[in-house]
Structure formats: C-alpha cells, structure tokens
Amino acid sequence: MTRHALDVEHYISPETFALEREKLFGKLWTFVGFSSMVRERNQFFTRKVAGVPILIQRTTAGIRAFINECPHRLSAIQTVAEGNRPLICPYHAWSFGAEGELHGLPNHGLYQFTAQEREKICLHKLHVEEVGQLLFVNFSAEPVPLREQFSDDYLEQLREASSCLDTQIIYSCHRVRYNWKLNMENVKDYNHVPFVHPKTFSPVMTAPIKTINSEPQTPSLIMQLLQQGAAPALSQLSYPTKAPIQPYKSWFASLCETYGEEHAYYNWFMYPNVNFCSVRGEHFLLQQYDPVSPGETDYHLWMMTARRKDVRTDFTALLSTLIRGERAVIAEDTVILERLQDGFGKHSRRFTHGDYEAHLVQQHLWYRANVLGD
C-alpha cells in the first residue's frame, strides 16, 4: 500500500490537535528559552507550551522546570512573564524548595496534613536539558533520550552556535490564524522565498533557486518515499542548512564575537516547531510556532546579536531595528499561511509535493506513524 502525506483534516481537526498534545508535545523535548534568561538565583520566566503553563527558575540546585501550578488550589506560582522571586504561591503563601518540595505552610493548623501527606506535596517537576544556551523541557515521566531526538553531531552544532549568543535579547509573541505545522513546513520550503519575499528576503540571497537534477527521476524521490512508507528516524527531522548570501559586514560585527567566517544564512531546524537561524553569524533569531488550537498558533520570536565584546555596549536600538525587519518578513508569510488555513475543508485534495520537499514528506511519514498511529 502506498502511504501519502498528511491530509488537510490534520490541520483543522480538534481530535488531531488532542493527539498532538499527548503524543508529540507530551513526549518530545521542546525548546522553552535561553539559559541567559535565568542567570541569577530565583530568576525565572514563564510561558505556555502547547497550552500547558510552565515555569523555568534557577534555584540553589540549578535551572529547574515546573508546571506553573501550586498543588493547593492550582494557582500560578509565578504570575508574570519574567522576574526574580522565590517559589512562593501568591494565593496562600505556600513556599517550595530547590526541587519543588514543600517548605513553608502558613497557618498549617488549618490543613491538618499528616507528616506523610505533607511529604508528598510538591510542585510538578519537569525534565529540563541545557544544550549550550538553549533550554528544553519534556513533560513525559520517562522522556525519550535527547540523543534520540537530536543526533550527536546536531547537538554539538547547537552548542557551538548558541555559545555565541549575546545575553541582550529582544522578544515578541503574536497570534496567527493557522495551524502550527504550516509554519514549520514553510521555513523548510526555500522555493517560496523569491515569490513571497521578493523585496525583503530574496535580495539578500546570492543566486536563484537551483534545480535538484537535470533529469527527473522515475519514479520521483517523493513517490519512492511514499511507496516505501517507512517513517524516518526521529533525529532525521532536525538538521542544519546554510545558504550563501550577499557579502556584507554589518557595522556592529566588529563589536561582537561572531559565529563562523562565511557570508551565509544558517538554519538549524528543530523538530517539532523551531527554526533557529543566524545571518552571517552576526545576529541570531529563533522562531517557535506554539499550537493554541487547530487553527491558531502563538508565534514566538527571540532575536539577539552575537556575543558583545563589551557588555557595556547597548544594542537596544539595533535589536528594535532587527526585529522590525524580521517581523516584516513574517508578515508576508502570515498572509499566505492564513489564506491557506482559511481555505482548508472537506473539499480539499491532498498536497502535491515535489522532490525538493522530501524533508516535508519525511516529517509527515514520521507524524503518521508516531502521532496518528498509522
């Protein structure tokens, strides 16, 4: 039997969305932020991952991750996006230790917990991994090994690249009206750049899109993948790429410890939902497409330069300019992707992929086997 890529129903179905929360985001390692965001004791940041509120905080034991809910009445422990504050619930002032264990219980006589009951009260702790300056969490009690999701070579590249990141970060988050998978597929589709971004992104590239082969294969690579129907290894879904761009040196490059020595646009695609990039190793951006519903996504965007040689150098104005430029490119993609999502329905036929989209088809085959259970 010939397999096929994902049907449109899996971009609009609430049932599929529930499966993703359980079998994809509930099991895989997901990027959540940067270690530079929690440099000091009690420094924290909060966010949601596929609808789950989480808290990343540096305690005396190191960087720890928790579900951002007090075990008492499920109130948020930290109520703002970032700050520096002990693990104390603002509702009834229950306090927690370095590993999330219960420490303080004001008015303890009201509760009448036995010693055994009190010993079991703790925050819901999550597994957290640090790769260079990149932080990942996993919701599973027995998470897949990080090396199974990302190859050793790939992890080493992430460590090397992220070691060059500066600590001054600009961040934005906005909601878009399309399924998160469309964005991850879009950033892996280099062929759309000259048509969707003719004035913003395309002029930076050095050459037009090149064909894969001079003669078509019979059958095509896509047809071979679909006929075989085998899901690739999980680690194959995350990979680096780079493309030559116009030679140019930004005015701020000499003030930074830049990454690499090439005039290149670097990408490190992190399955399931992250695109980590660098322009000439001078500045970096990380995009994450976090699912809210089948037809809505929170688009997270972090940007920073390469590490400043002097921390007294203030790049606030520069970062504002860089993020405005990136948001302009994102806006062009958003028009296309929201229009796509709006047109999906029972009338829609299957996608028709070409050989250059083999990575997308491999993504679909893995998803079918591991999320849909085909």
Per-residue pLDDT, 2: 46
**Left if phi > 0, otherwise alpha if psi is -120 to 50, otherwise beta: which for 58?**
beta
Strand partners, 268: 240, 276
Provide the b/e sequence for 181-212 (b: ≥16 CB within 10 Å).
bbbbbbbbeeebbeebbeebbeebbeeeeeee
Sequence-ordered list of residues with C-beta below 8 angstroms from that of 224, at least 6 positions apart, any chain: 217
- Is the pTM here over 0.85, yes or no? yes
Sequence-ordered list of residues with C-beta below 8 angstroms from that of 62, at least 6 positions apart, any chain: none
Domain ranges of the chain: 1-28+165-374, 29-143
Whether 135 contacts 33, CB under 8 Å: yes
Residue of 277, 263, 267, 209 whose CA lies nearest to 239:
267
DSSP code, position 329: H
Per-residue pLDDT, 228: 77
Cα separation, 281 vs 302, in Å, equals: 15
Homologous superfamily of the 1-28+165-374 domain (CATH): Naphthalene 1,2-dioxygenase Alpha Subunit; Chain A, domain 1 (3.90.380.10)
Strand partners, 274: 270, 288
Whether 150 contacts 235, CB under 8 Å: yes
**Dihedral of the alpha carbons of 89, 95, 96, 97, in degrees to the nearest 10:** 140
Architecture of domain 29-143: 3-layer Sandwich (2.102)
Cα separation, 29 vs 258, in Å, equals: 28
Per-residue pLDDT, 218: 63
Whether 166 contacts 138, CB under 8 Å: no
Whether 143 contacts 27, CB under 8 Å: yes
pLDDT string in tens for the chain (374-residue length):
345 689 999 999 999 999 999 999 999 999 999 999 999 999 999 999 999 999 999 999 999 999 999 999 999 999 999 999 999 999 999 999 999 999 999 999 999 999 999 999 999 999 999 999 999 999 999 999 999 999 999 999 999 999 999 999 999 999 999 999 999 999 999 999 999 999 999 998 876 666 666 566 666 776 776 677 788 999 999 999 999 999 999 999 999 999 998 899 999 999 999 999 999 999 999 999 999 999 999 999 999 999 999 999 999 999 999 999 999 999 999 999 999 999 999 999 999 888 898 899 999 999 999 999 98
Per-residue pLDDT, 222: 64
